[in-house]
Amino acid sequence: MRSKTIVLFSVFAAAALIATEPVLFPLLKSTVSLGKQPGGFYLLPTNQLLRPWGEQTLIKGRPVDVAMDSRKHLLAVLNWRGVLLVDAASGAEVGEVRSRATSYIGIAFRPGDREVWASETSANGPDNILILKLSETGAVEDIERIKLDGHAVPCGIAFSADGNTAYVALSLKDSVAVIDAKEKQVKRLIPVGTAPFGVAAARQSRRVFVSNRGGRHAEAHDSVAPSSGQAIVSDPATGSSATGTVSVINLESGKLSDVAVGLAPSVMALSPDESILAVANAHSDSISLIDTRTLASKELKIPAYPATTVGSLPDAVVFSSDGRRMYVACGGNNAIAVVERHESDWKLEGSVPAGWFPSSIALDQDGALRVVNIKGTGNTATGVTPGHFRSTAYEGSLLKIPAPLPSQIESGTREVEAANSPKFESSGGIANLASLGIEHVFFIVKENRTYDQVLGDLPQANGDPKLVMYGRDISPNHHALAEKYVLLDNFYTGGAISFDGHQWLMQAFVSDYVERAFAASPRGYAWNMADALTVSPLGMFWQSATKPLDVRIYGEFCLPAKWDAARQKAVDITESEELSWTSYWNLYKEAKWQNAVGSVSGVPALQPYMDARYPDDSVNIPDQIRAEELLRELTEFEKTGKLPNLLVITLNNDHTNGTKPGSPTPRAMVADDDLALGRIVEAVSKSRFWAKSLILAVEDDAQDGFDHVDGHRTVALAIGPMIRRAVVDSNHYNQTSLVRTITEIFGIPQRTQFLANARAMHSIFTNERDLSTYQTLTPKIVLDEMNPPLKALSGRPLWAARQSLAMNWAKPDDINQAVLNRILWWDSKGYDKPYPSSGKR
């Protein structure tokens, strides 16, 4: 998708920036839909409201970083697939250079303002420094690349005062590349800490500062967790990174020093006199202030809302020109925090509203803030066909906010707090969920469907039957369960794809590290949190429990393995060692699958909770095998009378393999998922535990299709004796609402701000217990209906099959989503039917 400026408009400049009284938000209707509201503000799928201050320019893509030239004439924005050049005065786009994919961070003007350097990477390399050579007026005259050895993952970039040397953090090399900027050659690598991220160069003292996202290197006594093949010092209980450091390189002496800072240090800034280095610590909700002379450090908290929770996610910082003020981008708060100097101390003065997930700040010649927001306003409209939304229709933004006065900061702080704590009309239902006596929650996570794709054919709710792809014949159990219990037609995902979707469901938290990675996920697509850098500092939502909670995990967080019956444990296998779908299917039919599947946790701290005999999340493994293993354990629980409190279960074949020859058709894979769900519900409903059980099933995201309400709207089911029957519930809920519901049932404290501000799903419950059981329905599609071979195809079906064969199905979503969406649409609707973004149906 071309990255360009879409529109420039004044959101709140005139009124809000001179207001002395807060302009807050109305009480939201309980059935409010996601997106733009009548008052001009936005409701986000993270339980937040959004009304950015200043002038906002919308940018197609996921912009992550910004730099300004020394004359304050030109802005360079690091977008997800290139670099965008913007006139600082007018906000107009003046140039764009496309790239395969860019990095988490890394864009800078070389002194002299005739070159822009940007970090360019991909999932597996090769990686480069992209150099834009500019005319005196800022036009791009030429493009050059410095090739980096291997898959280095370049990140932050800084220059020496004379512009002759560039310093680039290489995340996967644990080093800083020293590059001759004239010769365009890497001269040497300087070792630093783990996963270096941001770079700042002190021109007076000839020192280079590097923030190490993964902290110090592991020692023999440390607990460690993986991150792209590296060992990260980690919390033994949560698996999250446990240290953060800044490496200080003395260029004259060659001496290297390390300063301990908060967790997940990211962007840094030097004060104008270079006496202070400010470091944004995303996972500590703080900034570290380092005295550059003594290297003494102190920490200043940047709170979330409420202040007792985690999630402000400070991820960038910049000093004002006089050095008396700092601005901190708080991705979790959707705000810019203002910190001011009071003699020798620094104080947080408050915040002003930004866009959705600010990640970088530059200051213009008037001191106004230029803020990059990764997700803009949350718009998921496809931009072509009215009424069609898709979660991967990415749109970020660039804000211009005049330097706020004290009264404006006071007003802005009240607005930011209100925006992070929206108030809804009562949804009704049962307020005290703990009183229901539910002791067991089956939490089932599935893959990638929108509401309209599956349930849009139900006339009693808000669906669009024209967008249905997997209706009642294919998903009879989804339909029957939605009709038997509550039909939720106003339920949304928190994220866009599996990378953030699973993390919202398991953590009620998504790191800036993940939000920045959508271009290429260059350190790995850790949808399963098998990367310590993605894990919340609090761990998973249930780890906040203050009383014992028995948890069992089936498939979530998993890596490929197979069960070794002789050793009674799962052993690692590579993805290449996994069998074909047909092989697993035959083993299932012959009841010989038990030693061919298994899983180990990608988060080592969670291994004790795993069912190692449950299959990993390969889409080559039928969901019937997953159902078989879960029901095997349920039978064992029946014998002992002891069932875990929380069972986290993945059923992922509704993801499909596209039209890949040798795999089942997409509709057969969705039917497989549907049948597995029905079998699990039936077994639980006929078990001794049914009276005190609740089953919650939800998609991890809604990326593989269209919806007529919003790209985040998805399928969610609530099933159990205490769930209302045969009703449509249009109350506004989302993934964190579902997690909040579980925490209220078990009395788990809500420790992230997103969870604390989520609406529990009180309205779906009733005090009238109904113990009637469920009988599985069989889809009308045979589960081994196979995609035809290439030789049987021509035209568009042949193109679709070849595209599907070329995709990497071993990892969820490591594929071209735009291509897959077209394949699934045409496979369902007919290859002669126009794809919705064409403007026709």
Residue with tokens 């060692």: 577
Tens digits of residue pLDDT in 336-390: 999 999 988 999 999 999 999 999 999 999 999 999 999 999 999 987 777 899 9
Pick the closest to residue 506 from 481, 533, 477, 527 (CA basis).
527
Task: Check if the beta carbon of residue 298 is closer than 8 Å to that of residue 259.
Answer: no
* d(C-alpha 774, C-alpha 72), whole Å: 66
* d(C-alpha 767, C-alpha 688), whole Å: 20
Helix (H) or strand (E) segment spanning residue 515: helix 512-515
Find residue 666's DSSP bridge partners.
Answer: none
Tens digits of residue pLDDT in 781-802: 999 999 999 999 999 999 999 9
Q: Which residue has the higher pLDDT, 817 or 104?
A: 104
Q: Is 181 exposed, middle or buried (0-12, 13-18, 19+ CB in 10 A)?
A: buried
Find residue 401's DSSP bridge partners.
Answer: 369
* d(C-alpha 192, C-alpha 211), whole Å: 9
Tens digits of residue pLDDT in 547-592: 999 999 999 999 999 999 999 999 999 888 999 999 999 999 999 9
* d(C-alpha 599, C-alpha 177), whole Å: 38
DSSP 381: B
Half-sphere exposure of 189 (CA within 13 A, CB side): 15
- Read off the pLDDT band of 7 (50, 70, 90): very low
Q: Among 380-384, 462-466, 675-679, name the one with the lowest average pLDDT.
A: 380-384
Residues contacting 58, CB < 8 A, separation 6+? 5, 6, 7, 376, 377, 379, 395, 396, 397
Average model confidence (pLDDT) for the chain?
Answer: 94
Residue with tokens 């928190």: 494
Task: Check if the beta carbon of residue 45 is closer than 8 Å to that of residue 698.
Answer: no
Cis bond leading into 111, ω under 30°?
A: no
- Read off the pLDDT band of 14 (50, 70, 90): very low
Three-class secondary structure assignment of 741-775 = HHHHHHCCCCCEHHHHCCCCCHHHECCCCCCCCCC
DSSP 434: G
Task: Check if the beta carbon of residue 397 is closer than 8 Å to that of residue 62.
Answer: no
Q: Token pair of 118, please?
A: 């940007």
Cα torsion 679, 681, 685, 689: sign: positive
Tens digits of residue pLDDT in 617-646: 999 999 999 999 999 999 999 999 999 999
In this predicted structure, the answer to whether residue 839 has a pLDDT above a threshold of 70 is no
The model carries a pTM of 0.96
Instruction: Tell me if residue 514 falls in helix, strand or coil.
Output: helix
DSSP 543: G
Query: What stretches of 610-706 show up as alpha helix (H) in DSSP?
Result: 623-640, 666-685
Residues written for the chain? 841
The pLDDT of residue 365 is 93
Residues contacting 2, CB < 8 A, separation 6+? 60, 96
% residues pLDDT > 70 (the chain): 96
Pick the closest to residue 713 from 525, 478, 454 (CA basis).
454
Task: Check if the beta carbon of residue 795 is closer than 8 Å to that of residue 831.
Answer: yes
- Read off the pLDDT band of 11 (50, 70, 90): very low
Pick the closest to residue 528 from 623, 454, 610 (CA basis).
610
Task: Check if the beta carbon of residue 512 is closer than 8 Å to that of residue 282.
Answer: yes
% residues pLDDT > 90 (the chain): 91
The pLDDT of residue 812 is 65
Helix (H) or strand (E) segment spanning residue 191: strand 185-191
Residue with tokens 């992209």: 130
Cis bond leading into 834, ω under 30°?
A: no
Instruction: Tell me if residue 438 falls in helix, strand or coil.
Output: coil
In this predicted structure, the answer to whether residue 22 has a pLDDT above a threshold of 60 is no
In this predicted structure, the answer to whether residue 313 has a pLDDT above a threshold of 60 is yes
Mean pLDDT along residues 105-130: 96
* d(C-alpha 61, C-alpha 78), whole Å: 10
Q: Token pair of 215, please?
A: 């902290």
Q: Is 636 exposed, middle or buried (0-12, 13-18, 19+ CB in 10 A)?
A: exposed
Q: Is 501 exposed, middle or buried (0-12, 13-18, 19+ CB in 10 A)?
A: buried
CB neighbours of residue 521 within 10 Å: 25
Tens digits of residue pLDDT in 47-102: 999 999 999 999 999 999 999 999 999 999 999 999 999 999 998 999 999 999 99
* d(C-alpha 135, C-alpha 115), whole Å: 9
Helix (H) or strand (E) segment spanning residue 828: helix 817-829
